Amino acid sequence: MNTQDYIEVEDKYGAHNYHPLPVVLSKGEGVYVWDVEGKKYFDFLSAYSAVNQGHCHPRIIKALTDQSETLTLTSRAFYNDVLGEYEKYVTDTFGFDKVLPMNTGAEAVETALKLCRKWAYEVKGIPENQATIIVCDGNFHGRTTTIVSFSNDPDATKNFGPYTPGFVKIPYNDTNALEEALKLPNIAGFLVEPIQGEAGVYTPNDDFMRNAKSLCAEQNVLFIADEVQTGIARTGSLLAVCGDCKCQSTCERQEDTYARPDILILGKALSGGVYPVSAVLANNNIMNVIKPGQHGSTFGGNPVAAKVAIAALEVVKDENLIQNARKLGKLFRHGMQKIIDNNDLVVSVRGKGLLNAIIINDSPDSSTAWDLCVAMKENGLLAKPTHGNIIRFAPPLVMNESQINECLEIIEKTITAFKK
């Protein structure tokens, strides 16, 4: 079968809920992927930041295969001999009392919303069914019915109603709007992405997260950070809420930059992209409101997920991926800016660490960004537009300096030769 054959089979038998770039991948290693014709590419998307540790990282794959041969699933009806080890490791790593393990990012966001509501009724004392959670315009937190209820992307919402009530929206990166919204009655939480990845890598002002945190604290409102895409070294710190940290080895949660969430949501890179693993972390005063039978998932916290997640976090630490993302991110934006200065096809570059985006000089409904991604594919680099005229660049964090320079050359060559 060739590329076209594979695409036709997917097209015929699969729901059309995605619009992939026309490339069929069959192998991945580190920062590279190969298509079925044997062509090699730089992966500049990393499965939307799930493959931070690089494709098929040997240490994570070993954890996966070793545990798969021993015990894969017990459900939570019984204890297993791995989950506790993982729970201790992940809570130590991120500095919380407890974790609630789930599988996908959307499930973890749902978990955080349920946790926040239950805390609001049972600890804060909000009257039943009145709890309200503040969210931001342009948010992306997943695809469940409740989550799309507070999206403002028409593709995500249209004809999926009736919608779940209990959410108010404010503009992103607007401290005054947050301050006003916090005065509304029965506010339980503020759910926010520290950088809006899916919306097009919108990076808020440096002080937005810390101000948001302290405003929430003043009103006894839970500050909930969705770090599904931004977390685990992607932005040059362990978490994006760490801010401009200078940590040289592991995360030191530096006092002058860290905006500590009350509830932290993780997914994607928590497994290095080999397996769906997500998590919600909080301290006992919040997490203990959940009692047996009130929330869970058959696969959440299974032994394979537990071992894979430990290995994925160890790789981030042992291979200094935080520091690498910080250093290469600066190089990338600097190199990209030089390309932009000599070309009017791209308006600007923005981002943090190795989560970046370029804005194409065309309208959001033009095909220019898509066409440019197809042209980059031909030149050996895979990226995907988000929201029309924005292209997100998020390579695996195991990239090195010469590889990022090679990628900049591919991007420059493609942009220079590109005709609209």
Ligand X SMILES: Cc1ncc(COP(=O)(O)O)c(C=O)c1O
Binding mask 68-107 for ligand X (x = CB under 6 A): ------------------------------------xxx-
Q: Is the Cβ of residue 104 or residue 414 nearer to ligand X in the bound state?
A: 104
Q: Does 229 help bind ligand X (rule: CB under 6 A)? A: yes
Q: How far apart are CA 209 and CA 240, in angstroms?
A: 9
Report, in Å, the least distance between residue 312 CB and ligand X: 15
Provide CB contacts within 8 A for 305, sequence distance 6+. 86, 101, 103, 271, 275, 276, 277, 299
Residue 420 CA neighbour count, 13 Å, CB half: 12
362 in catalytic set: no
DSSP result, 162-173? SPP--EEEE-TT
Binding mask 356-395 for ligand X (x = CB under 6 A): ----------------------------------------
Among 101, 261, 267, 335, binds ligand X (CB under 6 A): 267
Q: Does 228 help bind ligand X (rule: CB under 6 A)? A: yes
386 close to 392: Cβ distance less than 8 angstroms? yes
Q: Which stretch binds ligand X (CB under 6 A): 213-221, 226-234, 254-262, 285-293?
A: 226-234
190 in catalytic set: no
DSSP 196: B
Burial 125-150 (b: 16+ CB within 10 A, else e): ebeeeebbbbbbbbbbbbebebbbbb
Q: Does 197 help bind ligand X (rule: CB under 6 A)? A: yes
Q: How many residues bind ligand X (CB under 6 A)?
A: 15
Q: Does 52 help bind ligand X (rule: CB under 6 A)? A: no
140 close to 198: Cβ distance less than 8 angstroms? yes
Of 126-155, which residues contact ligand X (CB under 6 A)? 140-142
Report, in Å, the least distance between residue 239 CB and ligand X: 12
98, two tokens: 């407890």
226 in catalytic set: yes
Sign, Cα dihedral of 273, 274, 275, 280: negative
Residue with tokens 């401290």: 175
Q: What is the dihedral of CA 65, 281, 143, 383, to 10 degrees?
A: -60
Report, in Å, the least distance between residue 13 CB and ligand X: 22
Report, in Å, the least distance between residue 128 CB and ligand X: 28
Which residue in the list 35, 43, 226, 262 is annotated as catalytic? 226
Residues assigned a catalytic role: 140, 226, 268
Q: Give residues in contact with ligand X (CB under 6 A).
A: 48, 104-106, 109, 140-142, 193, 197-198, 226, 228-229, 267
